[in-house]
A = this chain, B = another copy of it.
Amino acid sequence: MFKNLFRRQLPGTVDSVGPADFPELDTAAELLTAPSAMMQLSLAEARAVARYMRPRFIREGTVFIREGDAEGTGFMVLVLDGEVTVENIVVSRVSPITVTVLGAGSMHGELGLIDGLPRSASCTASSDLHCVTLTREGMLQLLKDEPKLGAKLMMAIAMSVAGRLRDNTEKLKKYVQLTMAMQQEIDHLMPA
């Protein structure tokens, strides 16, 4: 489904995994130079990395990653412009819970790209989205052609996942506190 979606938009480029130039290259490169404790991509390095990605336009309202999907896990998205709503389905609730809304510079789908497991959340374009995608094949090609740059990109991806894990941990702590407070209220309200 996603492959078809992308194929429609950029005919003939889907199977190419090597480096390529495109108009959004510089924007993608700039967004990849986010600082890290360990190492940082220079703008020149980020440009070289971004050439293994491919520009995509995603129309507002499109669900481009769907929670539970075990098939379309071979790509990640770097947002250049626009906003993405990340949502989780919770059993016993009608509408999904919004995890977060993320804009330019955010990555989506790195987990699946890395481990190939089913998608852990759904991502919807909450505005028209300009972005670049990196396929697993593109990543492997980069690691083969330019291992040092591949390692730095891997690092940037790990940073993104680490940031989300930190956010998530903070949320979990708040939920633990909330359930404790609610339990107290229930104990208080319960007839003796």
A155 at the interface (CB under 8 A from B): yes
Question: How many copies of this chain sit in the oligomeric assembly?
Answer: 2
Q: Contacts A116-B38, A150-B151, A186-B185 hold; do A168 and B158 have CB atoms under 8 A apart?
A: no
The dominant DSSP class at the A interface is helix
Q: What residues of B have a CB within 8 angstroms of the CB of A150 in the complex?
A: 147, 151
Chain A contact patch, size range: 35 or more
Contact, CB under 8 Å: B169 / A36: no
Flag if A111 contacts B155 (CB, 8 Å): no
Q: Please report which residues of chain A, range 164-189, place their CB below 8 angstroms from some CB of chain B when the two chains form the complex.
A: 164-166, 168-169, 171-173, 175-183, 185-186, 189
A36, A169, A181: residue with the most chain B Cβ atoms closer than 10 Å: A169
Inside 8 A of A158's CB, which chain B residues have their CB?
110, 114, 154, 157-158, 161
Chain B neighbourhood of A165, CB < 8 A: 111, 120, 161, 164-165, 168
| Residue ranges of A at the interface with B (Cβ–Cβ < 8 Å) | 36-39, 73, 88, 90-93, 97, 110-111, 113-117, 120-121, 136, 139-140, 143, 147-148, 150-151, 154-155, 157-159, 161-166, 168-169, 171-173, 175-183, 185-186, 189-190
Q: A88 to B92, alpha carbons, bound, how many Å?
A: 28
Contact of A159 among B114, B120, B148, B166 (CB under 8 A): B114
